[in-house]
A and B are shown apart, each in its own frame.
Chain A
Amino acid sequence: MIDYVKGKSVEKKTLWALRNISLHVHKGESLGIIGPNGAGKSTLLKVVSGVMKPARGKVHTNGTIAPLIELSAGFDDELTGEENIYLNASILGFSRKDIDERYERIVDFSELSDFIGTPLKNYSSGMVARLAFSVATEANPDILIIDEVLAVGDARFRQKSKERILAFKDRGIAILFVSHDLEQVKEVCNKVLWLDHGAIERYGDTHEIISEYVECQTTVKRTD
């Protein structure tokens, strides 16, 4: 569970990407993070997952973190599906034993067993995304960080990945979920953080915040 992300800000040149963000996410909670482009959503995820260190303030996390951020970053086109499973899982910090144990499950979930010996360059982008999703979600994390990656593969695989995320939630895993798809946020999250220009605009119950967010966006459009 994430205990808190307190008074945290990240410095980038002279612009503050995030300022005065203070919140707690407990075990079993899932927090949706919404807001316009450049609001600091992805930066917040990077700070929580340790990719970036905050210039001020602190992030406290308890347990292991699995990032589902731009899934194919750690893949290599020239290697086979199997080799890429090992490579990508080790980028996420898995030991050889961990990967051996999970290998079958990863292949099963991705439904790519027929292509597992083929170099990745011959995969379609949907297939690559399926493989990446399968590796990352086998991590068995305490905290799951998701950045816009549920729109993966065909409709059936999308459904399957959504079910997997919901199952994580039932198991009591803390989830941070960044998405522009408000319907998905409603489905997955019980709390929502609305960010704008690196600051908290609103924070609270999912349906309440989302309806305010939608309302705000439509007023902006009307004034345009």
Chain B
Amino acid sequence: MNMVNYFEEAKEIFRYRELLRNLVSRDIKKRYKRSALGFLWVMLDPLLMLLIFYVIFAGLFGSSKGTYTTYVMSGIILWQFFSQGTKIASIAFLQNRNIINKIYLPKAVFPLSIVLSSLVHFIFSLVPLFIIILFSGIKPGFSLFLLPFVVAVVFIFSLGIALTISTLAVFMHDVTYIYDVLLLGWMYLSAIFYPVSILPEKLQVLMSLNPLYHYISLFRGCLYDTSLLTAGHIVSGIFFAVLSFLVGWSIYYRNKDRIIFYL
């Protein structure tokens, strides 16, 4: 009975796919229309972040310069896909209260559309990443074909978090601030700009509880280091994605009819 209802809501979202499309394209238009460099910012943004990390940390962690650049760049790009999407999605219901208050629609389209636009940005930011990879002399192999699978898993994980945070934020606005701080700490714990091997052994074990660590490892595995494509990363990655999605969807589903009273 419950499963049937869950499915009904998903069908309803599918019926509103034109709205999803319009929301995503609006997001992309608005984000880049105003700026002089326009769409170039998709590429410049991670490159500038890379530059900062490079200047500060390359001497510390970079044994060979080319690999370190690729290492950091891939970490940044995957991290941004997750963090930007979920961060903006955390206020998805609050920001669209005008519409939700007036017109019936399946509300999950709002957080979903934000995670989708984050996916689009991620795909564009693969361009500078591949340029860097080619410059550092790495030749991507067949493992590249695993990339869509890894991206799909990260997408599902992000969507689950987005649904959770955006729903909770309606009932308690503090959630968005708490999540911002959490993200900052989470970034430092995700082995974006340092190799995991520098961590003490105990912390390395704890890393296996960090979903983003698995995702970033798998992403790097697809791109240039097949030794990272371990069963452990794959199984944990799928596990966290499924868990996140089930939790997010059920929190959203149980509260979707109450949201309006708190907006």
Residues of A at the B interface (CB closer than 8 Å) are: 11-12, 49-53, 65, 67, 69-70, 73-74, 76, 78-79, 83, 86-87, 90-96, 99
Contacts and interface: CB of A to CB of B under 8 A. Distances in A.
Main secondary structure of the interface of B (DSSP, over half): helix
A94 B102 contact: no
Of all A-B residue pairs in the complex, the 4 with the closest CB atoms, nearest first, are: A50-B104, A90-B19, A90-B18, A73-B102
Interface stretch (B26-34, B69-77, B78-86, B222-230): B26-34
Given A52-B260, A76-B26, 5 more contacts: A52-B257, A67-B103, A74-B98, A83-B22, A96-B21
Contact of A73 (B26, B29, B98): B98
A93 B22 contact: no
B33 A73 contact: no
A6 to B, nearest CB: 19
A93 B33 contact: no
Nearest to B104: A50
A76 B26 CA distance: 9
B114 to A, nearest CB: 15
A141 to B, nearest CB: 13
Interface of B: 15-16, 18-19, 21-23, 26, 29-30, 33, 98-105, 257, 260-261
Contact of B103 (A78, A92, A96): A92
Contact of A51 (B18, B29, B260): B260
B26 A91 contact: no
B26 A83 contact: yes
B104 A67 contact: yes
Given A51-B260, A96-B18, A67 B26 contact: no
20 contacts: A49-B104, A50-B104, A51-B100, A51-B102, A51-B260, A52-B260, A70-B98, A70-B102, A73-B103, A74-B103, A76-B26, A86-B22, A87-B19, A87-B22, A87-B23, A90-B22, A91-B99, A93-B19, A93-B105, A96-B18
Nearest to B105: A91
A95 B33 CA distance: 26
B26 A79 contact: yes
A78 B102 contact: no
A87 B260 CA distance: 22
Nearest to B258: A53
A119 to B, nearest CB: 10
Given A51-B102, A67-B102, A69-B103, A78 B22 contact: no
A95 to B, nearest CB: 5
B19 A91 contact: yes
A51 B261 CA distance: 10
A87 B105 CA distance: 13
B15 to A, nearest CB: 7
Nearest to A94: B18
A99 B30 CA distance: 22
Nearest to A13: B261
A78 B34 CA distance: 10
Given A50-B104, A51-B101, A70-B102, A99 B18 contact: yes
